[in-house]
A and B are shown apart, each in its own frame.
Chain A
Amino acid sequence: MSETLKVKTMAEFMAEGKQPEILFWVGSAGSYDDRAKKITKAFVKILNAANVDFAVLGQEESSTGDIAKRAGNEFLFQMQAVMNIELLNGYEIKKIVTCDPHSYNCIKNEYPSLGGSYQVFHHTQYIKDLIASGRLKVSGDTYKGKRITFHDPCYLGRANNEYNAPREVLQNTKANLVEMKRHKSTALCCGAGGAQMFKEPEKGDKDINILRTEDALETNPNIIATGCPYCNTMMTDGIKAKEKEAEIEVLDIAELIANTGNL
């Protein structure tokens, strides 16, 4: 792509003696995973288009410890958390936005009792606010009339009761939102959570992402929308396993919005 992304680190803000409006917590997947990096960039395009004065931590960012915690390693989690909290508090961060529901849940719910209290947003919540306040204008017919089904991330939905923000944001694509049979609080996990992403599944008769992909295929979608980099990987793999990658795209809501707005 030819356009340049405007991304400043917290250190740069400090050097200028300024505070950003919000900190964008990129997360490990968003920083390193090739597929997730595209989501990160799409979200930055949105932030740039809405003129949000945001910062990233860059090389100072480190794992939230979320995955370690769900794997049972509370030590490693708290080490990571305390380190990150020290950094965030040192920079006097008040607001955080992230494209990763796991980081969102962890920082929002598990950091406060360790000394880190921030206002935390999932990117779909933040995009919703940007659109509502008129800072972000999304119009375009890229997805007009397409069938989109949204896969609820466990850590945004059931874990934090946020079912509407992603759906409201998706309305702006002018696509038809079709729900899977299991959706919102009954949504099926993509299979990545609880550190499953990093290990082989236990013996069974099917992989979870395949079952979830079948849920999605039942709705006959053109696009499967996700709101989590791990869900995205799982659903993409599922679509490949079903040999449907020619017909069906798996895209994050940030990408759908960036594409719709031609940002």
Chain B
Amino acid sequence: MTYLPNILFAITLIIGIGYFTKNVKKLIRNIKLGHDVDASNNKSQRWKNVINIALGQSKMVRRPISGLLHVVVYVGFIIINIEVLEIIIDGLFGTHRIGLKVLPVSVYGFLIGTFEILACLVLITVIVFWIRRNVLKLARFMKSEMTGWPKTDGNLILYFEVVLMTLFLVMNATDVEFQSLNTGNVISQYIAPWFSGLTEGTLHIIERGAWWLHIIGILIFLNYLYFSKHLHIILAFPNVYFGGLNPQGQFNNLDAVTKEVKLMMDPDADPFAAPAEGAEDDIPAKFGASDVQDLSQIQLLNAYTCTECGRCTSACPANLTGKKLSPRKIMMDTRDRLEEVGKNIDANNGEFKDDGKQLLGDYITAEELWACTTCNACVEECPVSINPLSIILDMRRYLVMEQSAAPSELNNMMSNIENNGAPWPYNQMDRLNWKDE
């Protein structure tokens, strides 16, 4: 009978962590639907980026107010989670505040005191975040892709934080023994009086209740991540590690195309005898991307990492001038389609069954893709090194090389380049005329 709480706790923990692991496996499987990219180069720079951009949040402070607020929640979240370690040990072994047994009272008090202050700061920050989203209605949270689940998700996570932080403080406030130590209860000592007049037994029940709800809440939170933009608290790290290292203006050269072009440019063959179109037919490779499987694993990881913060979209010249294109939507669509493909695979015994849908057209329209100026503002802004532009480019490649579906003005421009080496219909022989004009 005395072991019942321990067993219950262990079961809760196993279910919570087990379900999480299952979803992580699914996530990895889905990401692996993309094609492999070699990112084994320049490890030291990659680690530096992880430390500066992911851990150090260097890009967040480009917007000082939200950047600072985010740092508070982030630091608070990480540090307060040290407390979870104690909860798990206590829960499994039936101890109470094991930290007090292994640490000097002053050190323990200092730790818990710090957690309490952080919890309080997190509470305040989360309220500010809520106001920004729901009262001030910041433009970037009000775009058309931020309705429905993304909007609910953004708020849910804030409520989660409020509940978890409150439970933590109540747990401390109703712990008679802890309060009597009078160390570390920097904040909870002011909450304790609210419960005065209750018997020690009732207090104990409240304390236990808060304790259980806190740990269950954390496990729910852990499992909620997979369905939420909050996955970024984990994925930001690998995503930044695999982020681009080249100058942002450098777009990848497609190897499959290089092979074809080298063949055509063979000195033994007349380079103009084999137009690009004709050569496409005899190569099986698909050029560009029309669905998630055509994207790279890094691009798919990008999609799962997106925090839906909209910093990219709020800097996008196309979006700022009312065009449909929103780089955040590109990432959200990619994730949604990837999830759909993943569910399709689950439902069909591990095989993807054609569902007559694809990323291009059903999620992202050509109109959005053609509005991009390739200005890199979205890439520059993203706090977690996501590159929406690379997906836009790959889908344009599909439209142009597989479907010849470019806007007609662009087709004219391209045939001019093909025929006379300039985007305008001028004679190449006139290239130097400016000299004598």
A157 to chain B minimum Cβ distance, whole angstroms, is 9
User: In whole angstroms, how far apart are the Cα atoms of A136 and B148 in the complex?
Assistant: 61
User: In whole angstroms, how far apart are the Cα atoms of A186 and B377 in the complex?
Assistant: 7
User: In whole angstroms, how far apart are the Cα atoms of A58 and B429 in the complex?
Assistant: 8
Interface residues of B in 212-238 (CB under 8 A from A): none
Interface residues of A in 1-53 (CB under 8 A from B): 5, 7, 9, 26, 28, 30-33, 37, 40-41
Supply 5 A–B pairs (Cβ within 8 Å), ascending by A: A28-B421, A31-B422, A67-B423, A70-B251, A72-B406
Tell me whether A67 and B413 are in contact in the complex, defined as CB-CB below 8 angstroms, given that A28-B422, A199-B370, A202-B325 are known contacts. Answer: yes
Residues of A within 8 A of B323 (CB): 201-204
Tell me whether A188 and B318 are in contact in the complex, defined as CB-CB below 8 angstroms, given that A59-B428, A76-B417 are known contacts. Answer: no
Contact of A176 with B by CB under 8 A:
no
Residues of A within 8 A of B376 (CB): 154, 158-159
The answer to whether B247 touches A159, judged by C-beta atoms less than 8 angstroms apart, is yes
Question: Inter-chain contact count A-B, CB under 8 Å?
Answer: 222
The answer to whether B250 touches A110, judged by C-beta atoms less than 8 angstroms apart, is yes
Q: Write the chain A residue with the least CB distance to B405.
A: A72
Of A70, A71, A154, A202, which is within 8 A of B318 by CB? A202
A72 to chain B minimum Cβ distance, whole angstroms, is 3
The answer to whether B417 touches A80, judged by C-beta atoms less than 8 angstroms apart, is yes
Interface pick from A139-147, A164-172, A206-214, A252-260: A206-214
A residues in contact (CB < 8 Å) with B = 5, 7, 9, 26, 28, 30-33, 37, 40-41, 56-59, 61-63, 65, 67-76, 78-80, 82-83, 86, 105, 108-110, 113-114, 154-155, 158-161, 185-186, 188-189, 191-208, 210-212
Contact of B434 with A by CB under 8 A:
yes
Contact of B209 with A by CB under 8 A:
no
User: In whole angstroms, how far apart are the Cα atoms of A212 and B414 in the complex?
Assistant: 27
Tell me whether A73 and B414 are in contact in the complex, defined as CB-CB below 8 angstroms, given that A32-B430, A189-B317 are known contacts. Answer: yes
Residues of A within 8 A of B288 (CB): 72, 74
Tell me whether A73 and B401 are in contact in the complex, defined as CB-CB below 8 angstroms, given that A62-B428, A208-B317 are known contacts. Answer: yes
B52 to chain A minimum Cβ distance, whole angstroms, is 16
B residues in contact (CB < 8 Å) with A = 62, 246-251, 253-254, 257-258, 260-262, 264-265, 271, 276, 279-280, 287-288, 315, 317-318, 320-325, 367, 370-377, 379-380, 393, 396-401, 406-407, 409-410, 412-414, 417-418, 421-424, 426, 428-435, 437
The answer to whether A188 touches B317, judged by C-beta atoms less than 8 angstroms apart, is yes
B16 to chain A minimum Cβ distance, whole angstroms, is 42
Residues of A within 8 A of B433 (CB): 31
B270 to chain A minimum Cβ distance, whole angstroms, is 13
The answer to whether B322 touches A204, judged by C-beta atoms less than 8 angstroms apart, is yes
Residues of A within 8 A of B430 (CB): 31-32
The answer to whether B423 touches A211, judged by C-beta atoms less than 8 angstroms apart, is no
The answer to whether B409 touches A199, judged by C-beta atoms less than 8 angstroms apart, is yes
Residues of B within 8 A of A160 (CB): 247-249
Residues of A within 8 A of B374 (CB): 70, 154, 193-194
Residues of A within 8 A of B257 (CB): 74-75, 78
Not counting A32-B422, A74-B401, A83-B265, a sample of 18 additional A-B residue pairs whose C-beta atoms are within 8 angstroms of each other reads A31-B431, A33-B424, A62-B422, A67-B423, A71-B406, A73-B400, A80-B417, A82-B261, A82-B265, A114-B253, A154-B374, A158-B249, A160-B248, A189-B375, A199-B410, A200-B409, A201-B371, A203-B322
The answer to whether B431 touches A72, judged by C-beta atoms less than 8 angstroms apart, is no
Residues of A within 8 A of B396 (CB): 71-72
User: In whole angstroms, how far apart are the Cα atoms of A202 and B318 in the complex?
Assistant: 9
Tell me whether A74 and B253 are in contact in the complex, defined as CB-CB below 8 angstroms, given that A109-B247, A208-B317 are known contacts. Answer: yes
User: In whole angstroms, how far apart are the Cα atoms of A134 and B370 in the complex?
Assistant: 46
Tell me whether A206 and B437 are in contact in the complex, defined as CB-CB below 8 angstroms, given that A69-B251, A72-B397 are known contacts. Answer: no
User: In whole angstroms, how far apart are the Cα atoms of A191 and B406 in the complex?
Assistant: 18
Residues of A within 8 A of B249 (CB): 105, 109, 154-155, 158-160
The answer to whether A158 touches B377, judged by C-beta atoms less than 8 angstroms apart, is yes
A21 to chain B minimum Cβ distance, whole angstroms, is 19
B369 to chain A minimum Cβ distance, whole angstroms, is 9
B256 to chain A minimum Cβ distance, whole angstroms, is 9
Residues of B within 8 A of A33 (CB): 424
The answer to whether A56 touches B432, judged by C-beta atoms less than 8 angstroms apart, is yes
Residues of A within 8 A of B375 (CB): 154, 158, 189, 193-194
The answer to whether B377 touches A188, judged by C-beta atoms less than 8 angstroms apart, is yes
Most chain B beta-carbon neighbours within 10 Å: one of A26, A70, A205:
A70
The answer to whether B401 touches A63, judged by C-beta atoms less than 8 angstroms apart, is no
A254 to chain B minimum Cβ distance, whole angstroms, is 14
User: In whole angstroms, how far apart are the Cα atoms of A224 and B323 in the complex?
Assistant: 26
A18 to chain B minimum Cβ distance, whole angstroms, is 19
The answer to whether B373 touches A192, judged by C-beta atoms less than 8 angstroms apart, is yes
